[in-house]
Chains A and B, each alone.
Chain A
């Protein structure tokens, strides 16, 4: 177990690195957890600082958010300190491809639902999602997209009666 002095030492080397050494951020899971919580909690406090706080008798709309924001910041500090003491690395693979493409396909679905209609939106979503995977076979994906689109039109539009145009403008 390292003492608190070494924690401070590591913290200071992170915050103000010696000018010669390259900046090295800790890759500890806890450290980044803490940073994330401080960011979210801090944002909640800063944005909510003008919300009416009220009194103990009549609590305003700002009481709960402010308390929760502060609690999150405290948790964040705890994790940053814990992260500097331990080296619990982030495990497993990061599929950057999936992380970018999957949400993008989803957003595209939202845009196309507004402007192009149900069929194009769904087709693009299925093809787009499939592109996030590591094994992408074009013919198979197109078949899957076609099949799913037909199935979903039958199920959601015809059977359940959702009121979306199949193609916009039609």
Chain B
């Protein structure tokens, strides 16, 4: 069994004391920011990215991944205890989780959320290990036209499936692509949109864009809409769910995991869509749907499993194809590139330690999260009492130091401020920020592959439809667009995203 050998190899990498430490730091920070509303995994990863430059690539990736899935756990804690979704992925958990807490069943709610998440995380890890290598195998045969069509497909899918206005998402992708090409053209050395500014000839730093939009823009927006935070701390007693609870939750956990894994590999669908669909499915299947909204344990078990499975499976396209399926994955790709690793199917053969080490660390990280979250729940809840007015200056301080440390450049600080303002204004106008980041990261790669494909085909654009794999991607892209403008789907989509 080659798979098991490779997994064992991965555990060997992940169990080194440094990597265990990075994993622990990652999941702790993730839980922390998951608990705290107003700062999400995207902003945190962007802020902490510069610090990981000095860390070995495996350790850096393990830590950043830990922040990401750790945040999913943390988000459910506040959703259940304070009726406040720490992350968007736990919005639906609020509905029944908080009701359970009010009925004095906070303990079982938290426990089932953790158990469901852990199960989903384990399945997600296995799925990556199972499907990663064959996918990479196929992707190794891709040439420039296939890559271009694949990127086009994933950008369109990401924009279409993202929450919010579809047209605005696509516009944001285009804007991101445009921002991505600022600087010296790789092929000809021609300077584009750099206005003679030396700092711009290497392009806009993607940390600048991410921190500006996701940390600063977010803070400006939060300060404009101050939110009453009820500091209600439910006493958590009887942590363990009863046997009846367990029996009721098995089905939802399994179905939630399946749904989450499915949505996970689709580009653009955030964990919120996975958890929302799981909630709807459970409500439909329930013998007595009226219990939902009044503390039904299925309404916690299903969505919490779904969002964690989704978070894990988002790694599959990133690790095997070098394609980011979400904003966080775009950041991970950026982290790899900065570390000098060219993302793509070669990563698995050239750096097996990176792939298998990360996969193994995710399972270890999920185990750590169960331990961190259940017994230490009181500690995390205490953190909720830290007022936002103390929190956001600290976020600003870490952001500033992080950005400055990348190039020791004050110019990038000014540019971040600009993106902060822009991010806030775009948000107000209803433009989702994540598609811009995807376009921004993929922009240079897409241009490169387009030009290479045209060279290959001697200037004949039909190359994209005459090569079968590329044609397949193009057909799917067109299919997605047609389906999405169909009135029935459009209406249904509006219901879900509202």
Interface residues in chain A, defined as those with a beta carbon under 8 Å from any beta carbon in chain B: 29-30, 32-33, 36-37, 40-41, 44, 47-48, 51-52, 55-62, 64-65, 68-69, 71-72, 75, 78-79, 88, 90, 92-95, 97-99, 102-107, 109-111, 113-114, 121-122, 125-127, 129-130, 132-136, 140-141, 144-145, 148, 152, 156, 160, 162
**B219 within 8 Å of A (CB atoms):** yes
- Cβ proximity bits B387-419 to A, threshold 8 Å, 1 near / 0 not: 011101110111011001100001101101110
Are the C-beta atoms of A145 and B393 separated by less than 8 Å?
Answer: yes
Asked whether, in the complex, the Cβ of B459 is within 8 Å of the Cβ of A56, the reply is yes
Q: Is A102 a contact of B389 with CB atoms below 8 Å?
A: no
Complex interface: chain A residues within 8 A of B119 (CB): none
Q: How far is the CA of A103 from the CA of B414 in the complex (A)?
A: 8
24 A-B contacts (beta carbon < 8 Å): A29-B429, A33-B430, A36-B426, A36-B429, A52-B190, A56-B459, A61-B192, A65-B178, A68-B178, A93-B226, A98-B223, A102-B420, A103-B417, A106-B396, A106-B414, A106-B416, A106-B417, A122-B400, A126-B393, A130-B389, A133-B388, A133-B392, A144-B390, A162-B405
Residues of B in contact (CB 8 Å), total: 63
B170 contact set on A, CB distance < 8 A: 75
Q: Does B140 contact A (CB under 8 A)?
A: no
B188 pairs with A160, CB closer than 8 A: no
Partner of B167, one of A48, A52, A78, A125: A78
Q: Does the CB pair A29–B430 fall under 8 Å?
A: yes
Interface residues of B in 169-200 (CB under 8 A from A): 170-171, 174-175, 177-178, 181, 185, 187-188, 190, 192-193
Residues of A within 8 A of B396 (CB): 102, 105-106, 125-126, 129
B58-66, B241-249, B448-456, B487-495: which lies at the interface:
B448-456
- Nearest Cβ in chain B — how far from A119, in angstroms? 12
Q: Which residue of A lies closest to B425 (CB)?
A: A36
Q: Which of chain B's residues have a CB closer than 8 A to the CB of A129?
A: 392-393, 396-397
Contact status A61-B187, CB under 8 Å = yes
Minimum CB–CB distance for B418 against chain A, Å: 7
Q: Is the C-beta of B8 less than 8 angstroms from some C-beta in chain A?
A: no
Tell me how far the C-beta of A114 lies from the nearest C-beta in chain B, rounded to whole angstroms.
Answer: 5
* B225 within 8 A of partner (CB): yes
How far apart are the CA atoms of A60 and B190 in the complex, in Å?
9
> What chain B residues lie within 8 Å of A62 (beta carbons)?
192
Any chain A CB within 8 A of the CB of B216?
yes
Which A residue sits closest to B459, measured CB to CB? A57
B290 within 8 A of A: no
Q: Is the CB of B405 within 8 A of A94?
A: no
Q: Which of B175, B192, B421 contacts A103 (CB 8 A)?
A: B421
The reply to whether B400 and A125 contact each other, CB–CB distance below 8 Å, is yes
Given the complex of chains A and B, what is the CA–CA distance between A61 and B397 in angstroms?
38
User: Measured between alpha carbons, how far is A94 from B222 in the docked complex, in Å?
Assistant: 10
Q: Nearest residue in A to B219 (C-beta to C-beta)?
A: A102
Asked if A51 and B190 make an inter-chain contact with CB atoms under 8 angstroms apart, the answer reads: yes
Q: Does B54 contact A (CB under 8 A)?
A: yes
The answer to whether B428 touches A90, judged by C-beta atoms less than 8 angstroms apart, is yes
Contact of B193 among A48, A92, A130, A133 (CB under 8 A): A48
The residue that B192 contacts in the complex, of A65, A95, A98, A134, with Cβ under 8 A, is A65
* Chain A residues positioned under 8 Å from B454 (CB to CB): 56-59
Indicate if the CB atoms of A111 and B430 lie closer than 8 Å. Answer: no
Near A by CB (< 8 A), chain B positions 38-55 give 51, 54
B216: chain A residues within 8 A (beta carbon) = 102-103, 106
Whether the pair B414, A107 counts as a contact (CB closer than 8 A) is yes
In the complex, what residues of A have CB within 8 A of residue B12's CB? Answer: none
Chain A to chain B: the 10 pairs with minimum beta-carbon distance, closest first: A57-B459, A110-B413, A110-B410, A95-B224, A103-B417, A61-B190, A98-B223, A56-B459, A61-B185, A129-B393
Q: Is the CB of A94 within 8 A of B458?
A: no
Write the nearest CB–CB distance from A44 to chain B, whole angstroms: 6
Cα-based distance from A68 to B171 in the complex (angstroms): 10
In the assembly, what is the distance between CA of A127 and CA of B373, in Å?
34
Q: Which residues of B contact A92 (CB under 8 A)?
A: 221, 224-225, 428
Residues of A within 8 A of B190 (CB): 51-52, 60-61
**CB-defined contacts of B102 to chain A, threshold 8 Å:** none
Smallest CB–CB gap between B422 and chain A, Å? 9
Q: A61-B190, A130-B393, A148-B397 are in contact. Are A103 and B413 (CB under 8 A)?
A: no
A37 and B171 in contact (CB under 8 A), knowing A94-B428, A109-B413, A160-B51? yes
Task: Tell me whether A64 and B181 are in contact (CB under 8 A).
Answer: yes
Question: Measured between C-beta atoms, what is the minimum distance from A32 to chain B in Å?
Answer: 6
Task: Give which listed residue, A32, A64, A65, contacts B429 with CB less than 8 A.
Answer: A32
Tell me the smallest distance from the CB of B396 to a CB of chain A, in Å.
4
Which of A32, A56, A106, A160 is B54 in contact with, Cβ under 8 Å? A160
Distance of A135 Cα from B226 Cα, bound (Å): 11
Residues from chain B with Cβ under 8 Å of A41 in the complex: 178
B401 / chain A contacts, CB cutoff of 8 Å? 122, 152, 156, 162
Complex CA–CA separation, A104 to B171 (angstroms): 29
Would B224 and A110 count as touching, CB distance under 8 A? no
Q: Which of B174, B393, B414 contacts A110, CB < 8 Å? A: B414
Chain A residues near B223 (CB, 8 Å)? 95, 97-98, 102, 132-134
> Shortest distance in angstroms between A25's beta carbon and chain B's nearest beta carbon?
14
Near A by CB (< 8 A), chain B positions 229-270 give none
Cα of A87 to Cα of B200 in the assembled complex, Å: 39
Q: Are B429 and A90 in contact (CB under 8 A)?
A: yes
- Tell me, yes or no, whether B464 is within 8 Å of chain A by CB: no
CB of B428 within 8 A of CB of A125, answer no
Closest to B458 in A: A57
Q: Is the beta-carbon distance between B397 and A126 smaller than 8 angstroms?
A: yes
Bound CA span A146–B323, Å? 43
Contacts of B458 in A (CB 8 A): 57
Complex Cα distance, B164 from A29, in Å, reads 14
Closest chain A residue, CB of each to CB of B182 = A65
A156 and B405 in contact, given A98-B223, A102-B220, A106-B396 (Cβ under 8 angstroms):
yes
